[in-house]
Chain A
């Protein structure tokens, strides 16, 4: 199976983000970047499918040169090669179109995404790419079985209060969810091997997005807590406030 994993580099979830001077983009100086955590499940699953069924795993990333760090990590985990659709500054084009146009040239049996990127939380790139490629798409997948000979996939997806089991033909687009697997750490031999694996850099197809970001705002700072009293004496007042002000009891 030839598998493409779409991976995004995102700010570490512990980052305290700042809004840039233009008021509509993030100030990314002094930000620590990581592989989008949901994409790690996709990378791991792709490597496991390759280990089971053979084939090749290609990591596809749209982003600036700094994304190369995390691409190498994915290669060290066991992906075979990578393509970086190189951007400079804030990419104004349509990300899904850029990815889909690249995937069309790659002849893949399966395209894996994390179910969403934790930076913008749009949760739509996998679905849009599937639409542009005219392929079936299943998201929030927690179990995946492939039968490459029959060109079929069986997937389990999380739904409210339960699990849905679906079948679909290959090629297909899958969005992965936590629980699918436990992503491996790369080992040191993998890190050495990753240096020699091919990484192709090219310009993305840049078709203007119809959605424009016009502003970003941070949530309002959290107000200080209120100290009612200390010890048992405070209980009646606490109950009154929970009932009358907070209205939770």
Chain B
């Protein structure tokens, strides 16, 4: 297949700096060389390509927008977004790994941790020496994290944690879990190292989506951790929600990558697939599908680029992130489904990337705030009325 050249209907490249373009092109080449050749096999076998972790670390993708003093690249948020876009052009599961490591593990340690926690963990997480996961969602509390049952109790110079978490990306392979639990009725973050007695992280099986990513439960039964493992600088739901804002920002960019992969595959397929003696791209129904795809991708690109500029100025609002996550994942999923359609019967095989993206995006639509919940966040921001319950 021809090398991916990007989708840029509106000369959006002219809005990017030289550094941002070089970052995007570098990660694009990495995805072509390292991810695309192995991803279908891992998806088929339901295995995470763990050997990519040191390679992604060497490239510098983990926490790429965090400061250099902690071993990170210190890039701006637009560059970070472009990294997520390209990784997800490879696979949503691989991008999920990077999102969790950077935005849900490194970010809370960076934003809420002690200097000692930052100095200890951030360089190890940036270098891929350690893998992290983020435990917020519970079996009975998804969209309603405030109702969490996991509890922490102070016991001398330790905390004792009890509870269960579910749908935790990287859980089984994580060296460190950021676990959110209620202490005296208020949500706090705790760092739980693997092999702590009472802590287990069994892998969840049977997924038809994100098959190249590890999804786990976290089970905490009288897990005793040192008191210094609490994240000292945040309490309440704003702690985990602040992390989710970071991760959703990356997802909004990532979804565009998936959409680009599906559009690019569809355009190539439509130009080469001959029916009735001509390429199916010559038919009006197919052209309309492709036109819709490139239009929605272009709108989504402009949405995340402006979002990134706002984030770099420090004035991005979480409800603006909701709009980008909600819209871009939704259009990506629609594009993936239409791409499957354009590919005809071939679209259901893993010879083409579209069915994998389509199935992955079903998860992406639901995780990190469902499509509907983000609608309610936007609704609350414009009406002033919360409609969650």
Contact = CB atoms under 8 A, between A and B. Distances in A.
Contacts of B23: 188, 191
B3 A192 contact: no
Interface of A: 14, 32, 68-69, 72-73, 76, 185-189, 191-192, 194-195
A195 B26 contact: no
A72 B22 contact: yes
Q: Which of A68, A72, A186 has the most CB of B within 10 A?
A: A186
Interface string B309-327: 0000000000000000000
Contacts of B29: 185
B271 to A, nearest CB: 16
Contact of A192 (B21, B58, B61, B75): B75
B19 interface: yes
A159 to B, nearest CB: 31
B157 interface: no
Interface in B23-49: 23, 26, 29-30, 33
A14 B5 CA distance: 11
A189 B21 contact: no
Contacts of A187: 26, 58-60, 73
Interface string B59-103: 111001000100001110001000100000000000000000000
Contacts of B26: 76, 185-188, 191
B195 interface: no
24 contacts: A32-B5, A69-B18, A69-B21, A73-B22, A76-B22, A185-B26, A185-B30, A185-B33, A187-B58, A187-B59, A187-B60, A188-B23, A188-B26, A188-B64, A188-B79, A189-B60, A189-B68, A189-B73, A191-B19, A191-B22, A191-B23, A192-B19, A192-B74, A195-B19
A231 to B, nearest CB: 20
A68 B19 CA distance: 11
Q: Which of A68, A186, A189 has the most CB of B within 10 A?
A: A189
A90 to B, nearest CB: 24
A171 B182 CA distance: 69
B22 A185 contact: no
Contacts of A188: 23, 26, 59-61, 64, 73, 75, 79, 83
Given A32-B5, A187-B60, A188-B73, 9 more contacts: A69-B18, A186-B22, A188-B75, A188-B79, A191-B23, A191-B26, A191-B73, A191-B75, A192-B74
A22 B74 CA distance: 47
Contacts of B33: 185
Interface of B: 2-3, 5, 18-19, 21-23, 26, 29-30, 33, 58-61, 64, 68, 73-75, 79, 83
B5 to A, nearest CB: 8
A69 B73 contact: no
Contacts of B22: 69, 72-73, 76, 186, 191, 194
B73 A192 contact: yes
Contacts of A192: 19, 68, 73-75
Contacts of B3: 14
A189 B21 CA distance: 15
Nearest to A68: B18
A37 to B, nearest CB: 13
A195 B19 CA distance: 8
A196 to B, nearest CB: 11
Contacts of A185: 26, 29-30, 33, 59
Contacts of A194: 19, 22
Q: What 9 A-B pairs are tightest by C-beta distance, nearest first?
A: A188-B60, A188-B73, A187-B60, A189-B73, A187-B59, A189-B60, A188-B64, A191-B22, A191-B23
A29 to B, nearest CB: 13
A118 B58 CA distance: 30
Contacts of B83: 188
Nearest to B57: A187
A185 B29 CA distance: 8
Q: Which of B2, B5, B18, B30 has the most CB of A within 10 A?
A: B18
A118 to B, nearest CB: 16
Nearest to B58: A187
Nearest to A71: B18
Q: Which of A68, A73, A76, A192 has the most CB of B within 10 A?
A: A192
Nearest to B83: A188
